[in-house]
Amino acid sequence: MDLELRDDDLAFRDEVRAFLDANLTPALRVAGSRVTSVFCEPRYSLTWQRILHARGWAAPSWPVEYGGPGWNEVQRSIFAAECARASAPGLAPMGLRMVGPVIMGYGTPEQKAHDLPRILSGEDYWCQGYSEPGSGSDLASLQLQALSDGDDYVLSGSKIWTTHAQYANRMFCLVRTNRDGKPQAGITFLLLDMATPGLTVKPIITLAGEHEVNQVFFDNVRVPKANRVGPENQGWTVAKYLLEFERGGGSAPGLKVGLDRAAGIADVAGADDRAHRRRLAESQIAVTAIDMSERRVLSALASGNPPGPASSMLKINGTEAMQRIDEISIAALGPYAHVEQMQAREAGSNIEPVGPEAGLTAMPRYLNNRAATIYGGSNEIQRDIIARLVLGL
Ligand SMILES: Cc1cc2nc3c(=O)[nH]c(=O)nc-3n(C[C@H](O)[C@H](O)[C@H](O)COP(=O)(O)OP(=O)(O)OC[C@H]3O[C@@H](n4cnc5c(N)ncnc54)[C@H](O)[C@@H]3O)c2cc1C
């Protein structure tokens, strides 16, 4: 395993740093640093995506033929780490990291020609319609009905927890096209327009008071069969392919930023007791271990080996470390953590924060990150994977 950066990697890192210095505006940095969940609002993330797209860097993992920059794994990791360090707004993964690779792998030539350039440029903003009320971890039990009618499917039912459905103009979703046999064998993967008649989006407001997720209702929504990805009833294969991309991506760079933030809060809030310093040190050790594990996986990937169950271990460790860091920040802020400051934390707001600046985001981050051990495959499910594939239980 080779963990050291080579001279050409260091030169690449300097090139990325220079680009970020020149192009990441102060407003975008503020927006990036005040994001309280994994998703940044599209008015910022799409602005940054357009800047990256103009440089050819919007989709680090896409093949060159579809507009990717042709980077290797190490370069992609350097780019992600530098973007986190500079507080660049995160780009929404639903187009670039989820449905984009699926269309490359399973889409028709027409879908590739139409959808891929629009994902890359940010012209289309996507949401993911997988989960349903009653079908989350047990995704194969999904019920959204798609009846065949000539050249269309007619959809009835509902999707839930659909992140940013209120902004999206496109959705990729799983529908039920057959109820006989194994549940996995009757699922189909569709692409649809959010403006289709019969489709309504209802907000779900999170504990942090934010509108990020939604429930989407389908009342006889017609979707052309030409929008199907892969054969009818073969959607499960397509869905599993997508989940590999959903779980990808290292968390150490973001955790280091969070740890620095927590340490900074401790300084300004005067929380310098021994217990507090010990908790910070424990998290520092955990993040260093995650960083090393991610580099090990990266090194394996660079040699052509898949991450396997290591991605489950990293999901568990990364999300639990994130939650511990949030707890440290809340404890350090004391009463300032409890002041609701939604308007003051808007990028561009001129409202003075009550208490330390970090108090603007600590509590909503803490509340939003409770979901991190649930979404993207809950941590209990990841532990099951480790039990089966690593421990042979
Ligand atoms: C903030 C947020 C954003 C999301 N965004 C999207 C999105 O954009 N699109 C989308 O399709 N979905 C999205 N989801 C949904 C997410 O994928 C589901 O919440 C997740 O799959 C869990 O499903 P569930 O909520 O139905 O919980 P359940 O599956 O009902 O799980 C409840 C609890 O039981 C445990 N459990 C379940 N089965 C097992 C088992 N076999 N063994 C051990 N423990 C088990 C789980 O770990 C969990 O603790 C989002 C969720 C959140 C919280």
Residue range 217-247, pLDDT digits in tens:
999 999 999 999 999 999 999 998 777 655 5
Q: Which residues pair with 189 in a beta bridge?
A: 174, 229
The model's pTM? 0.93
Secondary structure (3-state) at 368: helix
Mean pLDDT of 381-386: 93
For ligand 1, which residues put their CB under 6 angstroms from it? 127-131, 136-137, 161-163, 213, 371, 374-375, 378, 380-381, 384
pLDDT band of residue 340 (cuts 50, 70, 90) is confident
Task: Please name every residue paired with 132 in a beta bridge, in sequence order, or none if there are none.
Answer: 135
- Residue nearest atom 53 of ligand 1, based on CA coordinates: 371
Q: Name the residues annotated as catalytic.
A: 246
3-state secondary structure of 22: helix
| 126-238 and 248-389, same CATH topology | no
For 346-362, write each residue's pLDDT tens digit.
777 788 888 887 888 99
- Cβ-count burial 134-167 (b if 16+ within 10 Å, e if not): ebbeebeebebebeeeeebbbbbbbbbbbbbbbb
Model confidence at 88: pLDDT above 70:
yes
Kind of pairing between the strands at 152-160 and 199-205: unpaired
**Of 58, 51, 88, which is closest to residue 76 (Cα–Cα)?**
58
- The correct CATH number of 248-389 out of 3.40.50.300, 2.40.50.140, 1.20.140.10, 3.90.1170.50 is 1.20.140.10
CATH superfamily of 126-238: Butyryl-CoA Dehydrogenase, subunit A, domain 2 (2.40.110.10)
Element holding 121 (H helix, E strand): helix 109-121
- Between CA 230 and CA 190 the distance in angstroms is 9
* Residue to mutate, 378, 379, 385, ligand 1, most ligand atoms under 8 Å from C-beta: 378
Name the pLDDT band for 184 (thresholds 50, 70, 90): very high
What amino acid is encoded at 15 in this protein? Answer: E
Checking if the pLDDT of 270 tops 70, the result is no
Instruction: Please name every residue paired with 156 in a beta bridge, in sequence order, or none if there are none.
Output: 145, 219
Q: Count how many Cα atoms sit within 13 Å of the Cα of residue 371 in the half-sphere of its side chain.
A: 17
Domain boundaries, the chain: 7-91, 126-238, 248-389
Which run of H or of E encompasses 147? strand 145-149
